[in-house]
Amino acid sequence: MSDRRSGQGYSGESLLFLTDEQLRQGIEAMFFAYRGFTAVPDRILADMAYGRAHHRAIHFINRAPGTTVNNLLAILGVTKQSLNRVLRTLISDGFVESRVGTVDKRERHLFLTEEGRSLEAKLSDAQRTRMRLAYKEAGPEAVSGFKKVLEAMMDPDMRRAYGKLRDSGS
């Protein structure tokens, strides 16, 4: 299977000849890179009986303070029961505060406590450092391509969520 071309290769005029082999390299790159990407925070969290799920919750609460549980659910893509377990431990450990909504009392609005913000900083510092080094090594052109491909790889729903978060950035 030396020069197998990828079926629908003739992408209009943009001349993208993609062999299965090239695509597979991309798949494996995603796998290995994602592991590297989560390795440092994972290690920090493991020491406090937390996991990746806690990290994700903390990240997005920090990103959008006052967000509701339902909001968070949609972004994280898990069941509310699953998220709830994580939130419960974060709240009882004093990293997250849950305030009953004033206009709609069914809703809970989530905030990081001082302690929560400090944990968030520790985790995201580690991850940003890794990201910064990768960017530096790959160069500016590569970075823009990186983001383009990732964005194209998302599910449409998540792409919308990502866009909203991105544009709301400080």
- Tokens coding 98: 């849950």
Q: Confirm or reject binding of residue 20 to a second copy (CB under 8 A).
A: yes
Kindly state the smallest distance separating residue 130's Cβ from DNA, in Å: 19
Question: Closest approach of Cβ 126 to a second copy, in Å?
Answer: 11
Among 66-74, 98-106, 109-117, 126-134, the segment contacting a second copy (CB under 8 A): 126-134
Do the Cβ atoms of 73 and 80 come closer than 8 Å?
A: yes
What Å distances lie between residue 111 and 57, 67, 168, CA to CA?
Answer: 11, 8, 17
Q: Counting beta carbons within 10 angstroms of the beta carbon of residue 127, is it exposed (0 to 12), middle (13 to 18) or buried (19 or more)?
A: middle
Q: Binds 74, which of a second copy, DNA, none (CB < 5 to 8 A, cut-off by type)?
A: none
Of 21-60, binders to a second copy (CB under 8 A) are: 21, 23-37, 39, 56, 59
Residues in contact with a second copy, counted by CB under 8 A, come to a total of 73
Least distance between a second copy and beta carbon 154 (Å): 4
Distance CA 19, CA 27 (A): 13
Residues in 94-113 that interact with DNA by CB under 7 A: 98, 103-108
Question: Which residues 43-102 are close enough to bind DNA by CB under 7 A?
Answer: 49-54, 56, 68-71, 73, 77-88, 98
Looking only at the bridges linking them, the beta strands covering 108-112 and 96-100 are antiparallel
Query: How long is the chain?
Result: 170
Question: Hey, what amino acid is at 111?
Answer: F
Is residue 161 within the footprint of a second copy (CB under 8 A)? yes
Strand duo 67-68 + 96-100: pairing: unpaired
Interacting residues toward DNA by CB under 7 A: 49-54, 56, 68-71, 73, 77-88, 98, 103-108
